[in-house]
Amino acid sequence: MRTYWYAGMTKDEVQHSRMTFYKTVKTGEQNLLNKQNHRLTRQRKIILEELKKVKTHPRADEIYKMVRKRLPRISLATVYRNLEVLSELKEIQKIESAGALKRFDGTPENHYHIRCIKCDRLDDAPFSLETGLEKKIRPLTSFNIIGHRLEFIGICNECTSNHK
């Protein structure tokens, strides 16, 4: 068996060591190594940190600009790919709306949003999630209800002021 000069370990020992390291890497309370073997890469960690710093709901290109300050060589495709992975892992929310670009929210818990129909500004709604809606609709539909999303639409104060 070949041993590696840097630690005197076999290839199997090195592999086991790496797996153990990735299993213990955590951000906040959540472990980013899930059943699909996604691990917390440096790029993914920085994307997540940058998204959690802002209270806005930026598009991928805006996140790309934020991340490039710390990772100048990262590509837009890498940012898109990692945002999709973080969304699958339920570390962030992907907010999709017909006719609008995807936006991303660093708050993974379900909550409501308010969107301006003039400038596309997106804010968190100032009240908590309505519990029990899924139970109320189940008897009224043939769908298997797994959750709900709610987005209010309107015109923000800035757009209202600009039209006067």
What pLDDT score was predicted for residue 11?
A: 60
What pLDDT score was predicted for residue 47?
A: 97
What pLDDT score was predicted for residue 28?
A: 43
Q: What is the pTM of this model?
A: 0.71
Q: Domain-by-domain residue ranges, the chain? A: 31-108, 110-164
> What is the rounded distance in angstroms from the CA atom of residue 116 to the CA atom of residue 156?
5
Which residues, other chains included, contact 155 with Cβ-Cβ below 8 Å and sequence gap of 6+? 116, 117, 118
With 0-12 CB in 10 A as exposed, 13-18 as middle and 19+ as buried, what is 49?
Answer: middle
What is the architecture, at CATH level 2, of domain 31-108?
Answer: Orthogonal Bundle (1.10)
What pLDDT score was predicted for residue 37?
A: 67
Same fold, 31-108 and 110-164: no
pLDDT averages per 10-residue partition of the chain, 164 residues? 45 51 42 62 94 94 97 96 93 86 91 91 88 89 89 93 78
CATH class of this structure's domain 110-164: alpha beta
SS (H, E, C) 100-148: CCCEEECCCCCCCEEEECCCCCEEECCCCCCCCHHHHHHHHCCCCCCCC
